Each structure stands twice: as C-alpha cells, then as structure tokens.
Structure 1
Amino acid sequence: MQKAWIGALALVAALIIQGPAVAAEIVSLDSPGLVGIRSAGFTLDREATIGIEAVGRESDGDGFSWGGNDDGNWFSFGDNDGDDLTAYAWILDADTRSVVWDMDVRDTDRGELGDLVEFSGSVDLPAGRYELYLTSNHAGLLNAKDGDWSRRSMRRRIEEIEEDVTHLSVSLTSDVRATTFTPDGVREASVVAITAVGDSELHRRAFALDRELTLSVYGLMEYPSGSDGPADFGWIVDLQNGERVWDMSDRRGRRAGGSSKNRMLERDIKLGPGEYMLVYGSDDSHSYAEFNSAPPDDPMAWGVQLMVSDAADRSALSEISVPSRGQPLIDFSGARDGEFFEQAFRMARDGEVQIYAIGEGVDDGWEWVDYGWIIDATSGETVWAMDDRNTFYAGGADKNRMFDGTVALSKGDYVVFYVTDDSHSAEEFNSAAPFDSDAWGLQLYAEGGVQLLESDEIQEAQGMLVSITRVRDHDRVRERFTLERETKLEVHAVGEGAGREMYDYGLIRDLDSRRIVWEMDYRDTDHAGGAHKNREQRDRITLPAGEYEVIYETDGSHAFGDWNDRQPDNPLLWGITVRIAE
C-alpha cells in the first residue's frame, strides 16, 4: 500500500515538473515593406490548434493610395474593392489552394501606433501542408514618394505610414511539431509550371506529348476593369507550325481574391501528340511580389501551370528544352520611330519561312501603323501581311499585336518590309509595352534554300525597266527607257484620286511623237487599301520600238512618308513601275 502511494506521488511530481505541452513557434514573417509579400510553408503531421499573432495595417479611410497625373499633381484613389486592410496575413491550404484563415479587421484590435491593428487568436487545422502569407499594399505611396510633392502634410503622412509598416509581422505557434518548406506556387499535380511571375516578364516552357492528352489548366491573370483583355496571361503554341492553339486572353475566369482584377482560370484542354510551348507574359505592374492593389489568395501561383492527375497520363508528357529560333536570316527587331526596313530574298524552291513580328494595329477598321509584309518581287502583289486575322494580342496596350507562325512561299523572289510611324516603338512606347518589347519589328527565319538578294538583282531578274516608288509630296519624277522592238509591258501605278480626278498619278510619253501612250485614269483604278482615295491601276500594254519617258507627279499632300489619311496597303509602291511582261 505504501509503495502504491509513493508511486502515485512520483507520477504527480513528474507531471508537475513536465507541465502541459508548451506551444513553440512554427514560422514567423516580418514586414515586407511598403509593397510586397512574404511567405513561408509548414506541414502538420496531425491535427493541431495554431496560435496566431499578427500586426497589420488598416485603411486610412479613402481606400489608401496616391497617384499622379502628368503634371505631377497628386490625388487620392483606392482599389481595395471593399477591403479594410492594406496590410494583412492569411493561411492557404497548399493542396487545395483555398484560404483556411485570413485576417479580418472585425477580429482585430487597434494597435498603439498609427493605423496598425493586431490579431491574437487561433485556428484549428487538420494534418496537411499550408502556406502563410503577409502582404503590404501601399503602391500609391511609392508613387507619391517619387513625385514632385512638397506639401508638408503629405510628407508627414508618408513618414507616418513608413513607420507603420516597419511593425508588420505574423507568427504561428503550436504544441504539435511541424516542418517547414519554401512555397513556390506549384501544385502537386503540375507537370509544366510558370509561377511567381514578376513585372515585364516573358516565360516559356516547352513540352512534348506522345499521345492525345487532356490537361488541366490552372492560371492566374490580371484583367483590369473595363479592359477588352487581360494584362498578364498565358497561351500555348504548337511548335510544329507556330500557331497559338490555346490562350487565356478571351476568358475572364472567376475572382481570385483580393483586387477584382485578379482572375483565376481552371479548365481542361485537349492536345494531340506533338511538341508545344507554354508561354506567360506580364505587363509593367501588378504581379508577384509587388502587386499594385490587393494580391490574389494564391499570389505565388501568378502565372499558369498544366496538371495531370493520373500517373499514366503523366508519363505521356515530357518537358523538353525551349527550342532556339537560331539566328534570323532577316532581323528588323528593335524598330524605332519613323523607320523603314526592306530586304529582298530568293526562294530556291517551294517552302516555308518562319516569321516573328510585333507591331501596332488599332481596332478601328484595323488601321496598321507599325507592321510587316512580304511582296512577290515579280508581280508586286502582297503575299503576306500582318492583319487582324493572323495576329494576336501581344500584351501591354491593346494595340500591340504579334504574328508568330509560318508562311508558305513558292519558288521565286520576294521582298519583306517593316515600317513604323512616329510613335510607340522600341525607342519609346507611348502606351504599355508588349511582353517582348525588344522584338518590336520583324524577324524572318529560314532553313536551306533561301538566299538574300540586293534590290538590283531582283529588278534585273523581273525585267524591270522603270521603278519610281516612294514618291513624296510636291514631286515630279522622270525616267526614260528604250525598246529595241515591239514589247509587251506591265504597268503598275499607285496614287491619289477622288471625284474621278487623279492628284498623284503616272503617265508614259513617246519621246518621238510627244504623245501620251498610257496614263493613270481614275475610272480604270481600283481601291488600293486604306483611305478610299488610295487608287491603283494595273495594265498590260504593247509598245513599239522607241524611246519613252515615264513621269510620276504628286500634289502637296498625302504621299509617301506624310499621309493625311490612312495609307494604302502597300505604301512603298506609291509611284509607278514598268517592266517587261512575261
């Protein structure tokens, strides 16, 4: 009996000495500064009660943010979509990507400093993997600091907020042992992933499928209110032909948490066997980790990823190296304001060339101002051009358009062109730049059988007698040619005409008789594209042996290099050409 009593006392003493399980810190995050996100991951091997201590910042009443106009005058605005906190914490289930706890201003107490608020509480979590986030969203304050603002009250307010954010923090404790990891935004079922995309970035991942496969897409994008398309988004390219087979640009998805412009897209797509490239591009603001308004619930997943759930399907997909385009045969990239490029080339046999071009086209009757095209050097006809049907949104401003694909060409000689107007180019964009801004212009890639030519080689090959093109305002250009015998000729002229009268036009005169043997007549012209007054005339004529003079004359407006209305489809041919017909 005495031994039992002594044993009981020993057990009680041991319990008193050991005490209850002591909660230990699992993870903690300190201030991300004025704008930013901090994160940490932790794994629980069993259910646990997690203690949370957090310091955030409450909105100062106007949605907080400062911005500025071009004059440097600052004004208040907000994009918190009803949120009451500009700095806060939350916990995400790493597997389901759903929020399991978030900091609500109604559950906080006013802090001792500035607009700080404090949360002290707990949340019960089952075994699993979790991610802790702490965000600070004061993007407008950074703008105000960089602006020319001298009001003392504003400077004082900025200093107060800067002091506030130094105290932001969150820490988690538990009496259950936990292991930690570094979050990367990649879901467990992902086979190809582009995540944590920052400002002005363009990412590519290539993959191959050995059979038809259904892939699940999980993507986050920025879709500003009132915009016709997203500012940050992804797409898939078929590497065999360069065609875009899927993209996020015409899909709004659903709310992704935080700002209303954060959108999430989850859907299945089916792709056949082949090689593909997953691409994601972002503009110059609102991305990981410096979102300019409230971030999405799953901020590190900003980007796009492809997933499969079945192990057998996973084996059908393999990630491959992003193919290099190699050196372009013709490179007009980096095009600046007011530039014009041209290069002749010869196809030794029927084949394809690959073209990667970025330009500017306005969706108002689709007027193109920075664009590329290819003409058949023999006929002068356009065989390919950037247009609304074959180009895609290139990111940034809506007017940024991209062509990325192959063009089939028959054996023969061609000329590729690229032209820019006086604004919005690689020199300086007057609106948001495209994802791949350095490539503004055109690049042509080709394998064997394609040869670069000089312009005079083409003219000789196609029997050109006279080429008067790119004629400007107030000009009168003359060239002569001689025929040794009766010859069939092809005449092509592009000019300006309206009301049955021509203002920029060409003619051919017999120098012996001084008689006009051919003249551009409005009634015989066709629309040359662009403004209705752009006219063109193609004729086949036969002239006897003799000496002739070709004349092209322009008035004081609307000519090459200085259009007062929409330019023709092929502005470089403004003028007249005469060649021997085949």
Structure 2
Amino acid sequence: MNKRHVVRLQLVLLGLLVVLLVVRTLSGPPAPDGLVVLADLEPDALARAGFAVEHPVVVRLEGIGSFQGPVEAGRDRPPLAAYGWLLRREDRAVVWRMEPGTAASERGTLARSIDTLGLDPGTYDLFFASYGASFGRSGSSVVQRLVGANWRDDADRWAVAMQPLDDAAGVIVVEEAGAGVPTGSLAPQPEALVWTSAPMAEGPSEASHLFEVDEPVVLDLYACGELPEMDYGWVEDAVSGRRIWTMTMDTTEPAGGAEANRLARVPLRLAPGIYRAVFRTDAGHHYGGWRANPPLDPAAWGMTLSVAQPRQARAVTPFDPWTMRTPLLRITSVPNNTARSATFTLSQPLTVVVYAVGELGRGDDRYDHAWITRAPGSDVVWRMSRAASRPAGGHENNRVEIAFLPLQPGTYTVHYETDGSHAFGNWSNGAPTHPERWGVTLFPLPASVEPGVIQQQPDAAPGEAGPMAGMPTAAPPPPTPPPPDPERLVLQMAPLGNEVRRDERLVVSEPTTYRLYALGELSLSGRYDYGWIERADTGDIVWEMTWENTRPAGGDDRNRFFEGTIRLEPGTYVVHFRTDWSHAYGDFGGEAPAYPEHWGLTIERVTH
C-alpha cells in the first residue's frame, strides 16, 4: 500500500470518527440501565414506579432530564423542567432528586445526574415529571425555540433508573413503571391517622372533617397545595369558628416543582373540643391536572392529620351528630313545594348542632333551605348559606351545613322550604349521599340534656312539622305480628342471628300482592340489620327497609319493623337480608324487641 492510499484511509477513518462524535453529541447520553427504569417518557406527564427495600442496600441512581433553557457560562443555571426523584413512602421523605446546581449539562438543554446512596428498609416511589418549571407550555424564549433549544425536544432521551450495587435480592419491584398519576393508595397513611383529604383531584372541590378531642393532644398536620389561596386548607374551632391554623406562605415551605407548590408539616396542639379541618381546591393546577411540575409528594395534595403519639389515638374521634347525639327536632325527607316549621322553647341556655341538607346555587341562591327565627319579632338567628355549607354528594348544588348555634332561653321556630324541583322523592339531578336527611335536624351539643330544658310547641298551622318530624314522642307498643299462614307462606328468613347473609330467589308468574313483615336494626345514620328486594335482571330495588318506612319495635331505639304489602309484576326477584356483627336474635343484651323471634323477613302471598 503506497503512501497516498495510507493517507486516504486515514482520512476516511478520521471522517468516520467525526461522524460518530457528531452523532453521539446530537443523540445525547445513552439511556440508563437498572432494576427499576422509567423511560419512553413524554412532555406534560408524571411517571412512577414503586419498589420495596427489605434490608439496607446501596443503589446507583441515574437521571436524564432537561433544564428549562440552555446553561450559559457566567449566568445562573435555569431550573430543571424535566427531572426525576425518589420518595420514601412511610415518612414522605425525598431521599434523592435531580438538582439544577449539580446536574451535568449535556447537549442543548439536557441534564444528567448520577449518584450513589444507601437506602434503609421501606417502600419507595421513583418519579419523573415533565410539565416544566413554570405555568404554560413555553418554557423557552422564541429565540431558543428557533435554534432548537426547546427542552421539550429532549423527550426521547429522558429516563431515570435505580440499580442496586450490592444485594439486588433485597429490593423487590412492587409496582411496575408506568405513566400517569399515582393512585390514591399512595396518599399519606400514618399510623394514627385521623383524616386525610389527599389526594384531591379536579376542582373546584372541597373536603372537610369534623372531629372531637377528648383530652389535650398533638396532631401532626401534613398539607400540600398551591398558594396564595388556590388549593389550601385550615383547621378551625367548630363551635366558635376561630381558625387554629391556616395554610399561608408564612406557615409553609416550598414543596418542589412549580413555585406555587407549598408544603406544611407542623405539630398542632389542641385542647378538648370539636374541630373542623377543611381543604379547598380551585379549577387550575391540581392532582391529576398539573399545569406545571407537581410537588415532590404528588399524592399528598390535600391535608392529612394524624395523632403524634399513637397511644392517644382514642382521644380523637370523628364527630357525627347522627350517631353521637339524639335528635331534638327533625324536619326531614321534605318533598317538592313544601313549607314546614316546628317551634320549641328553651328554659336555659343550650348550644345546638344544626344539620341542614338542601339545594343552594352559586351566588347564594336558595332553592331548598332552612333557617331559624326567634320570637317575638321573628328575628333570624341562623340561615343556611352556600359559603358555610359543604358538598352533600350528588349534584353540586346539594349542600350540607353543620352549624353550632348557642341559644339563649326563649322561643324559636325552625323553618324549611323547598321549591318545585329536586327534593326528596323526586331528584331531578343527582341525589345527595343521605337523601333521607333532606331537611333540617337539631341535636344538642352536650352529650345529655336535662329533662324539660327544651319543649316543642303544638303545631299551629297546616304544613308545619308534626310529631314524626319534630320532637321525639313516646312510640306506641308495636302490634302483635300475625302468625304465618302455612298455605300462604312464601319465604321466611327469621329468626336471624349476627353476621348472616341470606339471598333467596322469588319467581313471580303473574301479578301478585305480598304481605311483608320485617324486623331489624336501623338508626337515623345507617342500617345494620335490614332487608330489601330487587329485580334479578336489572338490580332495581322494588322494596327496602328504611328509617322512614319502619316503626319502633320495642326495646332498643334501633329496633324497627316494617309491616305492609307490595305488588310484584311477573319476573324473577332476589330477596336479601343482612345482619352485622352485633345486636341480633340471641344477642340483644336486654334491649330485645317485643317479638324477637321475627328478627329478619317473612313474606306471604295475599292475592293473585
């Protein structure tokens, strides 16, 4: 080979080397390898994978992301627009993250981080976010985009990986890598959990929780949201309305991601009393709908309360007047075009809990609502409002307000009115979670009230609340159930003990009327031992035991019975009866109904 051929070969090799270097430079760093890898990522997305560490292990973490703009010598580095991080689920600690100050600047806006660290036993979530550091899609100047410096163009290179360096057997992948938002199971779940609203998606929305503290206690408050006052929360004294703590810029710290993401992790010292925790979101940047990079603990978007000392967990309980108090007065199950009222007199000061469910529109338009007046003069002492109410389930205008009202001795009237649409028994929009509570109910704040403190006045005019809707009255003794007729007996699910599930098919060949006698356990707040009948083909319920269609059965106030007839058209039906773990036949504890042997459901044929 002569000298000319050697030079030519050298030039060819040099050219190939230059081409390889250009390709390498343009293509960026190779994708990292590891036991857990997030790759094939796209802009405006959040990807995650979970893994568990059984014993201490050393791992290598490598991430390839993007700066918001090119890194220029002599100038402050731009923030990261796309990056990865690692979160320990048990204590919500961020144990690793790509940082703009330490990430290596690659071609254009590419950023690369490689670190080695030790991980303690626990469950970890590896994340990658690519929404950008600021709201909006741009993230780069017009000039930068024209010259190809838009960080979104790096998407095909983005990746983050975790690789154990010593004992891979001690690391178990519990949730495979995938794009999308974390599930609700990733929300904070501390040992002595009181309540969590996390993660809160969509918006505008609101979550609240009433709870009672029996002894001085410290709660751990953990909240993540968007400030100022976009997605935020507070804790207040429910009786006085005074705020104990509010989520503000001064009470929070940066939560990672967009600048508006804020985090609070504070101890909350509470004296005995009743409190309300509230978290509110708007329609913008939120869990599952991020408009810029999410916080480093995305599933914590909302508020979480837990007891700092688990041994005190019993000192904090949910406050539900329907299960913890006896109603003083009820105007419920109110239908359309109805005006009802009930008057009562107090002989001494009393704080009452007002529980009202109705239909309130935006702008405080009141369609179905309650209010309380005081005689003489009918001065309004309380009125249901949109601002003070919370979502009641179903349609957005279904609202529930729980107010604590200190009343002085005197005479008061409770009012409730409905318009011509959307009320109990005729929901033109979605029904609330507890349709039977549509109306207003008064409970005493003290656990017990001395006899004679409150007296209901006689009804004064048609349309006012009667005894069933107002003060509880002594129930007449239940009638004696007629003995089943063997010739007409169709089905007998009685007597039933605790923890029973009975499901029987009933075939109706022609229109038939049936007599039902059902005895079970129901209260204003729920059903515990009860029955129902549904069509087998559609699942439509044709009859069920409810508080409204049952009567006192003697003994415990929860003992209720139904006696009546229903007419069934031809078809196949399924008859159900359920009992819970306590208070049933053979286990009434001295509070048995008048006829305990009928606990369950009996069906007889009446006519063809």
TM bucket (normalised to shorter chain) is 0.3 to 0.5
Normalised TM-score (structure 2):
0.46
